[in-house]
């Protein structure tokens, strides 16, 4: 078993200078009169952010702040692939009975999505349980290694993170995820039901309504029960996303290499590509320019390079295991948090067809990046699910969180 080593992020000065050089030479396109976010990332935003990234933004300040987090790295041997160095945050609670929780990000997120949760989850004040929190960078993302062979789809990410938890000594654990993290952690439950004792997700993406073949009771309930106002708005939100915001997914799922030339060579292209999602996928969240550029810089300075992050879409679309993502996971308790400005906000009966749902919540506001946008709401949901009185209380043997 590979050792667990502390990890320090240290981007070479040469890469910082190369970034400034590219930004200095950037040529931005023109823009139509009255063009707005419906047309894509606005020119005025790009002018401001590009200028600030070049002349004002201080990566070293943010790098120093990130390095104050408990950063680690270890080598994971994934079946059929080369060993991968995996970067991760590991915050251990002082509570011996803390619940081991694996937090998994997605695209265009990164491991920093967990930061606002760390002080809330770590100690478990009052009636709240405490958690040991593990938040890795996905392979091909952040400061984890890139994959050199085809076929690294969601089950391989699941294998990677299960082996990471085993190397950390967590034989049983719970998970939390949004975006790809939702898919990966649910597949982990399907693959390792003896180890993954419960999953909480804030991105709910069933393949469709429950069917009479697979879920007859839920299908009957769905057929007979009118949608609530919240559910009607959720359906409208997903309809907007599918018609007006889904182009990135088709490109990354079909020709990631072609797109990759732009993402790898042009920081302006990478910024526009990611920033559009940070704006469109949140619920009036006021991103600071430093937050935006730090998230984008993590992609720009990533170990595998920014182009690598798009490959998960292609590999998943072309994997024979794609059906697992939307299938029912029978042996793992499931908690679901619905945020109205997420990208998939299906009716509750649809979500209940994904597994043994023991916790549900609907929030009045919040979007796709719940841990970053609404950390208090998300943490309260975890406390209700795993705390005393919750239906996933004491789900990990000997680790109640108290």
pLDDT in tens, 314-330: 999 999 877 788 899 99
Q: What whole-number distance in Å separates Cα of residue 132 and Cα of residue 94?
A: 9
Return the pLDDT at 30: 97
Q: Which two tokens stand for residue 131?
A: 């958690």
* pLDDT (tens digit per residue) in 241-283: 999 999 999 999 999 999 999 999 999 999 999 999 999 999 9
Strand stretches in 246-370, DSSP E:
329-338, 355-362
Distance between CA atoms of residues 363 and 355, nearest Å: 21
Cβ contacts of residue 169 below 8 Å, gap of 6+? none
What average pLDDT score do residues 28-52 get? 97
Q: What is the residue whose two structure tokens read 């909480």?
A: 200
Average pLDDT over residues 374-400: 97
Distance (Å) of CA 111 to CA 6, 268, 369? 16, 22, 12
How are the residues of the chain apportioned to helix, strand and coil, as percentages rounded to the nearest 5? 45, 15, 40
CA distances from 298 to 166, 355, 395 (A): 27, 34, 35
The residue among 377, 328, 381, 321 whose CA lies nearest residue 356 is 328
Mean pLDDT rounded to a whole number for the chain? 97
pLDDT digit string (tens) for 324-373? 888 999 999 999 999 999 999 999 999 999 999 999 999 999 999 999 99
Section 6-30 average pLDDT: 98
- Token pair listed for 170: 């967590």
Give the position of tokens 């996905």.
Answer: 138
Over the stretch 55-112, which tens digit does the pLDDT of each residue have?
A: 999 999 999 999 999 999 999 999 999 999 999 999 999 999 999 999 999 999 999 9
Q: What is the pLDDT of residue 126?
A: 85
Residue 237 has pLDDT above 90, yes or no: yes
Tokens 């790009």, residue located: 46
% residues pLDDT > 70 (the chain): 100
Average pLDDT over residues 285-289: 97
Q: Which residues contact 126 (CB under 8 A, 6 or more apart)?
A: none
Who's near 338: CB < 8 A, 6+ residues apart? 202, 204, 230, 234, 345, 348, 351, 360, 361, 362, 363
Taking the C-alpha atoms of residue 116 and residue 119, their distance in angstroms, rounded to an integer, is 7
Q: How far is CA 128 from CA 97, 135, 176, 396, in A?
A: 12, 20, 17, 16
CA 26 – CA 314 distance, rounded (Å) = 29
Give the mean model confidence (pLDDT) for residues 170-191.
98
Say if residues 253 and 322 touch (Cβ distance below 8 Å): no
With a CB cutoff of 8 Å and minimum separation 6, the contacts of 110 are: 137, 141, 142, 295, 298, 299
């Amino acid at each position: 078993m590979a050792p667990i080593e502390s990890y320090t992020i240290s981007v070479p000065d040469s890469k910082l200078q190369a970034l400034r050089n590219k930004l200095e030479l950037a040529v931005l396109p023109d823009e139509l009169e009255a063009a707005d976010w419906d047309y894509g990332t606005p020119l005025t935003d790009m002018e401001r952010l590009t200028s600030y990234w070049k002349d004002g933004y201080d990566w070293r300040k943010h790098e120093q702040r990130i390095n104050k987090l408990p950063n680690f790295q270890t080598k994971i041997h994934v079946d059929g692939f080369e060993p991968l160095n995996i970067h991760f945050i590991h915050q251990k609670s002082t509570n011996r009975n803390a619940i081991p929780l694996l937090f998994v990000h997605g695209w265009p997120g990164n491991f920093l999505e967990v930061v606002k949760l760390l002080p809330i989850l770590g100690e478990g004040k009052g009636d709240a349980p405490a958690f040991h929190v593990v938040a890795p960078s996905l392979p091909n993302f952040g400061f984890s290694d890139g994959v050199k062979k085809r076929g690294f789809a969601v089950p391989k990410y699941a294998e990677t993170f299960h082996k990471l938890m085993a190397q950390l000594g967590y034989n049983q654990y719970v998970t939390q995820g949004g975006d790809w993290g939702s898919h990966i952690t649910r597949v982990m439950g399907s693959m390792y039901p003896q180890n993954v004792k419960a999953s909480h997700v804030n991105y709910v993406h069933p393949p469709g309504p429950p069917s009479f073949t697979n879920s007859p009771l839920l299908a009957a309930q769905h057929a007979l029960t009118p949608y609530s106002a919240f559910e009607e708005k959720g359906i409208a939100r997903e309809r907007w996303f599918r018609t007006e915001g889904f182009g990135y997914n088709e490109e990354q799922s079909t020709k990631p290499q072609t797109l990759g030339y732009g993402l790898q060579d042009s920081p302006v292209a990478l910024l526009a590509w990611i920033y559009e999602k940070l704006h469109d996928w949140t619920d009036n969240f006021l991103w600071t320019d430093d937050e935006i550029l730090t998230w984008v810089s993590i992609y720009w300075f990533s170990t595998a390079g920014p182009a690598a992050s798009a490959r998960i879409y292609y590999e998943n679309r072309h994997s024979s295991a794609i059906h697992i993502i939307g299938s029912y996971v029978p042996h793992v308790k499931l908690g679901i948090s619905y945020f109205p400005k997420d990208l998939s906000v299906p009716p509750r009966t649809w979500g209940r067809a994904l597994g043994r749902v023991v916790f549900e919540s609907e929030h009045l506001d919040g979007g796709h990046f719940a841990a970053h946008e609404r950390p208090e709401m998300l943490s309260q949901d975890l406390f209700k699910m795993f705390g005393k009185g919750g239906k996933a209380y004491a789900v990990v043997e000997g680790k109640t969180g108290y």
